[in-house]
Structure 1
Amino acid sequence: MAKSDLPSITLRVAAEFLKAESTDKRPAVAAYAYSDGGHLLAYSPLGEKGETKLELPASREASAVRVVLGPAPEEKEPPALDELLRRGAIERHLTLRPGDAAPDLRIPVFPDVWRYWLLGLCLVKGTVLKRVLRNGVSVDFPVCHATVEIYEVDPLWIVLPKLPPYVIDHLRDILAGKLPPQPLPGPGPAEAEINAHQVDAASLDALHAAAGNQKLRFAAMSGSAQMFQQALVEHAPLIRPILCWLYPRFVTMQLIGTAATDECGHFARFIFKGFHNPDQPDLYFKVKQRLFGFFEVTLYAPTPIACHTWWDYPCGTEVTLHVSNPLAMTCKPCAPVIAGNNWVLFTAIGNHSLDDIRGAATTLSGSSHAGNVGLTGGGAPWGGVLMPRLDFDNALRDSLGVKYYRLSWKRDGEPDSQYKPLNAAISRHYAQMIASDLVLTAYSLGPQVVGAQGNLFEIPPAVPPVGQWTVADAVEDTANGKFDTTTAMGGAPILDGLVQLRLELFDAAGAAVNIGALGIDYYVPTYVDGGGNIHTTKASDPLLGLGAGLVQGNAMVLTLHVNNEHCSAHIGAPMVGGTGADDCCGVLGYHTDSDNVTMPWQASHPHGFATYGFLVKRGARDVLSDSGAVGGGSFSQTRTVGDLMTTNPAPGCTGGCTVAGFTENLSVYAMATNGWGRLSNYDGWDARAFVLSHL
């Protein structure tokens, strides 16, 4: 393109901050010049005296220039024109003619504007998570390296005037009690969206509250259109859920900023509050992620917008966005551990935190004793394949030369020489782009032989060889060891008893680490606060380990109560007056409705680690249920014939039955857990049917 031989035009712009005292802090302001077509020609921040110069390209013809005075850009690039106007920027329109001197602009800025520019910044922050369901347990993993788009939704006093008159009249009729609350039919694709959004409890509660509000009801019944709209605005908290349900397609929004998530899924961005919505912004979010180097996927954009808007967002508060898209790439969970220097945190068994294991939890120390040590806070034992989870301070590898750990186990009462190392393979996954393909690669942690030591596992490095850590499997990629209690490393299965898990550290040469000499401490979690921070206490705390702590020499030792026994369930014959239902046909005769029917059953577990549920059904109706701990194992329930014949009748059934068929169902549930879920394969079950017939 040929360079213009015309001189540039210098435009001087000054801001006059009205009613500003010399001691007042003033906002950072810039002047922007746009062509008539909206192209940015120049921009420059104002100096301390509130003045600046804009160098504009000259033109051979008269041209229209739009000068905008507004907040200085927080971003690397100046904001778009519509964003400046949203922030309350002031406009001046000029016509520049060839040969004419450019005028000097002195633009007054009123106090409500310049003070808003000073105070209008709002911090928006949050976390993007992907919820993974494994063995019935929900686990959240951070969605890293994604883009969060932040939108401002029009506030109610802007939305309401945009609603067509027929919508306002419809809402008026609903609040006045003239029409049932049903969505209006709408033309085109919007109709499907409206009809697909079903009413929820919040919408119903808001509708009832709005209909019961005297001012709203009066305005709906007798007020003018303006009075009714004003009443709606004044009662915004009641109207928003109704708007979400009945009229979601009338809500509009504007993109006001983007932010990138970090390795922990966190994002943060300063935005300007809209000048016409100065109190608290109403925000909506979308989340996008680029896959395969070129393919951008929208992970989060829930609809209807009005139902997923953060109305009156308090600046600086945490927003949590849960995505469910299976393509969402996640990173390993971040451990915001609050501990001392050079820490090793024994976090959990599976997904069950140590802060709920007796002997390892300070909060349970007052009720823990030799009879329940190693059980969960709810009294459950451990079984199946146990997967300990550990977290390590990066300083161990970076500064202290500690590179490996080893987990081993023994039965309670055995000498330390009987510790047997866990030797199942453990790995992590990282993601990288190879050409246009996203590739997941396994990074083996062990077992490894280092120096004279075998069965060592590498402390995961903070950064993978290339790319980023990701979670390909919620269970495998969070485990630091695998302890199969059903095979016990090839020995006899552990049916019931205490075991000890030992954790040791080794340096890069495979030599055992002296934790005292290096200032290393083992920790256990105590609780997780509202911000997701893991609070801890030293494993040597005398409140742990029944008063002895969990640190033995240079190792940490955790005691667990393991149980891999099966439950038993048996239903005995129901009886009337000492006569049981026959095993052949299951018929049980009775004389009067006052005769008692006794229903015995056995629900047991060798060591009582089970609960039961007993249910009796007549036809398709439940007539009796019982549940609880198995205890001694022997149970029975007695009901009169009249109760069994008449309790919980089906619709249309009157007068009860004289002959009826019944089923008894008994389930015995094992309490044992592997930390990810209850071991239902150890459950017991039985069923029996009988018929009550008048003799």
Structure 2
Amino acid sequence: MAKEQLKLSIPVSFESKPQENIPLKAFLFNRKGELMESVAVTGDKADFKMAARGIRDTRVFIVPAGDERLETATTIADLQRFKPYEPVLNLDPKGNLKVLPIPANLLKLWKLRFCRVRGNVYKTFSMSGVTQNRPICHARVHICEIDKIWWLLPKIPDYIIKKIPDIILYPERPIPIPIPDPGPIHFPGTVIRPEIATEIRPLALDVHPLAEAAPRITGAQSMITPVARENVLRSITPEIKQQLLSGNVSAIRNTLQANLQLFHPYFCLIPWIWPYFYRSDEIKTVYTDYNGKFDTTIVYWVDGDHPDLYFWVEYFIDGVWTTVYKPPIPCYTYWDFVCGSEVNIKITDDRVRWECSDVIDGDIVWVKSIGHGASVSRIKQVDDLVTIQGKSFNRIGLTDAVVTLSQVTSGDYRQPFGGGLYFLLQFGSGLPSTGVKYYRWSYRKVKEADLSDTGITAYTRLSNPISKGYTFEYIDGGGHKQFGSNSFKLGPYPIGGTPDLYIIPPTSPAMAPVNAPESSPFWDQNTVSVTFDSKLDGDGLYEFKLELFNGAGHLVNVPKASQFFRVPKPDTFSPSILAPDNMLIESGGNVSAYKMLMRIDNQSCKAAVDKIKILTGPDYVDASTDCCGFVKYNPAQKNNNSLIKISFQAYHPNNFANFGFVVQKGTCNDAAQKNATNVSGMVIGDAPAGDGVPYVRSTASIFSKTFSPDTLLGICSSGGKGAFAEQLSVSVLTIDGNIRLYSRDASGLAAFALEPA
């Protein structure tokens, strides 16, 4: 006989009617514990669409709806946190399904409360020395509930428990990762990286996140400095300390369970211990709006713990959701979260760009920046001779952009450009228009690296393929809003016989000529308009030209009075201002193009610390013939300021580099010696040390200075001998508009020891 087949319709009623309506959800499992279907309870019944075998092979669970974690529940174990009711399924003599009402006492456990969770995600951007906090739009924020795993304490191995007293009572001592490591106790929502301990910022004493991410902390913050840590230790009573020092594993476990909240600041600094004491469960995922804000509601049980919330953030980078903020859980959890308060999340990841710019009105082309960090208004467009370390230095084409790892400050125009470059534009809402639909970039090299003329007059068109990405919304199979990505090719295209033209994008990808088919498409109003490999034609001064074209591919000359081309305001970046005359190509009152000069340099640094030399007769010779570094001197010449020569090479072919040279004597903090030996500057010319006496630079960029043994020995003079380390760093000044190209840096390290002959 064929097995009985049913389409289940489960009647749902209450033994006593609840005071408030409780949304319910029903889950259908087979006897193997496999989820067959889940449905909302409507009209006092749960109708399952899936055919099920006889009731002997069926289990049904009913839980209060409203918690988003139910969407990912796939096992009976997943439902246990929601206090499920499993009705007994019986058939009456006529074969009808009989289900008893939900017990009245279960209603006492099914009381939910709602908690408003608001916040904003932002990043501090520096644009050529102008610092602004800007919202991060369309970021994905994961909201997690953190539980202190009280019930896991008995399962933590004894050898781990024995390490806890040292972590708490002696936080200055390094605590090595135990062997074996936590292994399978690791839980979802936590990333433990070996380097995380070096990334942890100071902690607030009440164990909330920092001021930038803690709604309940106001005013001055008390951080976990050595003094502040001592203050926390004072709250550890003699009784607690006695138990921790007892060596009794059971006593230590009991003390931990009774005082876990007190110990969070110390566990925060020990990443390997987190999985033993905390569990993270994601309860909701939200997206930030154009202002970087998010606002949602979560639910929690009246008889349960008040929510302890932790946040981590992803951002859509190159078509992939990428984690850009995931700090240590114990340090950044909002214990007993204050519902309705605002969470401020500061992103520092370099990959996150300023991409929430507003639409600007009118027929405008705003030439913004090289990369995302170097304003075009902060690039010298004329000869500008200054004197640096006694040498003449022309700053034309250089920038003072303060980017990541920058070696300059605002107003210090010494940085050339190099590597892969891209130019950022923003088009006004009036474009593309009938008269202006396309743009094109060209370049020519006008000066060599030494600023001699090249004789080049013709422009070379830039023609690398460019696409503009956009994000759109869609609803996934679970009924949740998600974000996807697509892109539209801007060019290059031949139009009307004119090659290498690029489409001016409209303000929305839903508009022509893009006509994006997806729902709610949007893109950053900033446009990466072109890319340029700066290594192609060598170092020198380049002129870049931006032209506009109509629908037929003909060059458009715009009246100068139309104020078509804009650049950033130099001191604030925003708002835009009219492009100055020296950045325009004019003819008869019309403007045919925007132009700008940029210095290109792709050279690397060199660094070397020479052997110590000693004056022998009229010349300086190596003080030792081997590599061991011992320098013997005549005690009778202890005060001879010309006896010992220290030298090093700090080199860059075009002088676009800074250097720093340090001499460290043993473990001494000898201010007078350091003042005389330590020096920093640009590699261009002689560099005075702190005592005013310069290291003299040779044509080969070798810096040297002479000393007496007494000056070097300083506070060690009475013994007549000392050991020294010499450390040299040479840092290139070149940037790509986002970051200083530090891979072109160089360094040197050496050591020597002075002793009387």
TM bucket normalised to smaller: 0.5 to 0.7
Do the aligned residues in 1 keep the contact of 2:117 with 2:298 (CA within 8 Å)? yes
Give 3-state SS (helix, strand or coil) of 1:628's partner. Answer: strand
Instruction: Classify 1:226/1:17 alpha carbon distance in 2 versus 1 (closer, same or farther; 3 Å).
Output: farther
Aligned partner (choices 545, 549, 562) of residue 599 of structure 2: 562
Q: How does 1:244-323 map to 2 (within 5 A)?
A: 244-246=271-273, 248-249=275-276, 251-254=278-281, 256=283, 272=298, 275=301, 276-282=304-310, 318=345
Q: Tell whether 2:396 aligns with 1:346.
A: no
Q: Tell whether 2:91 aligns with 1:53.
A: no
**Aligned partners of 1:500, 1:579: CA distance in 2, in Å?**
52
Do the aligned residues in 2 keep the contact of 1:62 with 1:96 (CA within 8 Å)? no
Q: Which residue of 2 aligns with 1:375?
A: 398
Deviations 1:450-487 (A, max 9, x none): 3364554455796999999xxxxxxxx96715385985
Do the aligned residues in 2 keep the contact of 1:577 with 1:596 (CA within 8 Å)? no
Q: Which residue of 1 aligns with 2:530?
A: 480
Deviation at 1:303, TM superposition (A): 12
Q: Which residue of 1 aligns with 2:234?
A: 214
Superposition CA RMSD, Å: 7.0
Instruction: Classify 1:58/1:236 alpha carbon distance in 2 versus 1 (closer, same or farther; 3 Å).
Output: same
Q: Which residue of 2 aligns with 1:10?
A: 11
Q: How does 1:601-612 map to 2 (within 5 A)?
A: 611-612=658-659
Q: Tell whether 2:229 aligns with 1:229.
A: no
Q: How does 1:481-560 map to 2 (within 5 A)?
A: 481-482=531-532, 487=537, 494=540, 500-513=543-556, 522-524=565-567, 536-540=574-578, 545=580, 553-554=590-591, 557=594, 559-560=596-597
Q: Which residue of 1 aligns with 2:701?
A: none
Give 3-state SS (helix, strand or coil) of 2:13's partner. Answer: strand
Structure 2: which amino acid aligns with 1:215? S
Deviation at 1:404, TM superposition (A): 2.5
**Aligned partners of 2:423, 2:750: CA distance in 1, in Å?**
44
**Aligned partners of 1:162, 1:169: CA distance in 2, in Å?**
14
Do the aligned residues in 1 keep the contact of 2:432 with 2:504 (CA within 8 Å)? no
Structure 2: which amino acid aligns with 1:626? V
Q: Which residue of 1 aligns with 2:451?
A: none
Deviation at 1:58, TM superposition (A): 10
Q: Which residue of 2 aligns with 1:387?
A: 421
Q: Which residue of 2 aligns with 1:137?
A: none
Instruction: Classify 1:53/1:281 alpha carbon distance in 2 versus 1 (closer, same or farther; 3 Å).
Output: same
Do the aligned residues in 2 keep the contact of 1:384 with 1:486 (CA within 8 Å)? no
Q: Which moved more, 1:623-632 or 1:53-62?
A: 53-62
Q: Which residue of 1 aligns with 2:212?
A: none
Do the aligned residues in 2 keep the contact of 1:14 with 1:107 (CA within 8 Å)? yes
Q: Tell whether 2:355 aligns with 1:335.
A: yes
**Aligned partners of 1:227, 1:75: CA distance in 2, in Å?**
32
Do the aligned residues in 2 keep the contact of 1:153 with 1:309 (CA within 8 Å)? no
Deviation at 1:592, TM superposition (A): 2.4
**Aligned partners of 1:535, 1:550: CA distance in 2, in Å?**
19
Instruction: Classify 1:271/1:517 alpha carbon distance in 2 versus 1 (closer, same or farther; 3 Å).
Output: farther
Deviation at 1:241, TM superposition (A): 1.7
Q: Which residue of 2 aligns with 1:626?
A: 679
**Aligned partners of 1:678, 1:672: CA distance in 2, in Å?**
6
**Aligned partners of 1:576, 1:391: CA distance in 2, in Å?**
61
Instruction: Classify 1:106/1:399 alpha carbon distance in 2 versus 1 (closer, same or farther; 3 Å).
Output: farther
Q: Which moved more, 1:37-46 or 1:419-428?
A: 37-46
Deviation at 1:409, TM superposition (A): 5.0
**Aligned partners of 2:103, 2:749: CA distance in 1, in Å?**
90
**Aligned partners of 1:665, 1:242: CA distance in 2, in Å?**
31
TM-score between both structures, scaled by the size of structure 2 = 0.56
**Aligned partners of 2:706, 2:85: CA distance in 1, in Å?**
85
Deviation at 1:238, TM superposition (A): 1.6
Structure 2: which amino acid aligns with 1:643? T
**Aligned partners of 2:426, 2:681: CA distance in 1, in Å?**
41
Give 3-state SS (helix, strand or coil) of 1:597's partner. Answer: coil
Do the aligned residues in 2 keep the contact of 1:450 with 1:510 (CA within 8 Å)? yes
Q: Tell whether 2:465 aligns with 1:427.
A: yes
Deviation at 1:150, TM superposition (A): 7.3
**Aligned partners of 2:553, 2:433: CA distance in 1, in Å?**
16
TM-score between both structures, scaled by the size of structure 1 = 0.59
Q: Which residue of 2 aligns with 1:641?
A: 709
Do the aligned residues in 2 keep the contact of 1:172 with 1:220 (CA within 8 Å)? no
Deviations 1:84-110 (A, max 9, x none): 554x45636445342485444475787
**Aligned partners of 1:667, 1:269: CA distance in 2, in Å?**
48
Instruction: Classify 1:428/1:269 alpha carbon distance in 2 versus 1 (closer, same or farther; 3 Å).
Output: farther
Deviation at 1:503, TM superposition (A): 1.9
Structure 1: which amino acid aligns with 2:46? L
Q: Which moved more, 1:677-686 or 1:574-583?
A: 677-686
Do the aligned residues in 2 keep the contact of 1:502 with 1:555 (CA within 8 Å)? no
Deviation at 1:245, TM superposition (A): 3.3
Give 3-state SS (helix, strand or coil) of 1:376's partner. Answer: coil
For structure 1, the 5+ residue unaligned runs are 21-25, 128-141, 292-296, 324-329, 361-369, 413-417, 432-439, 469-476, 529-533
Q: Which residue of 2 aligns with 1:594?
A: 639
Give 3-state SS (helix, strand or coil) of 1:387's partner. Answer: strand
Instruction: Classify 1:211/1:14 alpha carbon distance in 2 versus 1 (closer, same or farther; 3 Å).
Output: same
Do the aligned residues in 1 keep the contact of 2:359 with 2:429 (CA within 8 Å)? no
**Aligned partners of 1:195, 1:104: CA distance in 2, in Å?**
47
Structure 2: which amino acid aligns with 1:581? Y
Q: Which residue of 2 aligns with 1:135?
A: none
**Aligned partners of 1:663, 1:8: CA distance in 2, in Å?**
82
Do the aligned residues in 2 keep the contact of 1:352 with 1:676 (CA within 8 Å)? yes
Structure 2: which amino acid aligns with 1:340? I
Deviation at 1:633, TM superposition (A): 3.7
Instruction: Classify 1:387/1:83 alpha carbon distance in 2 versus 1 (closer, same or farther; 3 Å).
Output: same
Q: How many residues align?
A: 599
Aligned partner (choices 152, 155, 158) of residue 148 of structure 2: 155
Identity level (%): 18
Q: Which residue of 1 aligns with 2:268?
A: 241
Deviations 1:190-220 (A, max 9, x none): 6999999589365999797389523335343
**Aligned partners of 2:575, 2:254: CA distance in 1, in Å?**
61
Deviations 1:605-643 (A, max 9, x none): 999865444567999999833111457647344532223
Do the aligned residues in 1 keep the contact of 2:55 with 2:89 (CA within 8 Å)? no
**Aligned partners of 1:108, 1:350: CA distance in 2, in Å?**
64
Do the aligned residues in 2 keep the contact of 1:551 with 1:557 (CA within 8 Å)? yes
Deviation at 1:376, TM superposition (A): 1.6
Q: Which residue of 1 aligns with 2:450?
A: none
Instruction: Classify 1:341/1:66 alpha carbon distance in 2 versus 1 (closer, same or farther; 3 Å).
Output: same
**Aligned partners of 2:530, 2:490: CA distance in 1, in Å?**
11
Q: Tell whether 2:197 aligns with 1:200.
A: yes
Q: How does 1:127-206 map to 2 (within 5 A)?
A: 152-155=145-148, 160=153, 163=156, 167-168=160-161, 170-172=163-165, 175=168, 181=175, 183-186=177-180, 200=197
Q: Which residue of 2 aligns with 1:445?
A: 491
**Aligned partners of 2:169, 2:435: CA distance in 1, in Å?**
75
Deviations 1:334-391 (A, max 9, x none): 832234136544343256421772469xxxxxxxxx9867432232243567734134
Instruction: Classify 1:482/1:386 alpha carbon distance in 2 versus 1 (closer, same or farther; 3 Å).
Output: same
Q: Which moved more, 1:576-585 or 1:387-396?
A: 576-585
**Aligned partners of 1:608, 1:666: CA distance in 2, in Å?**
16
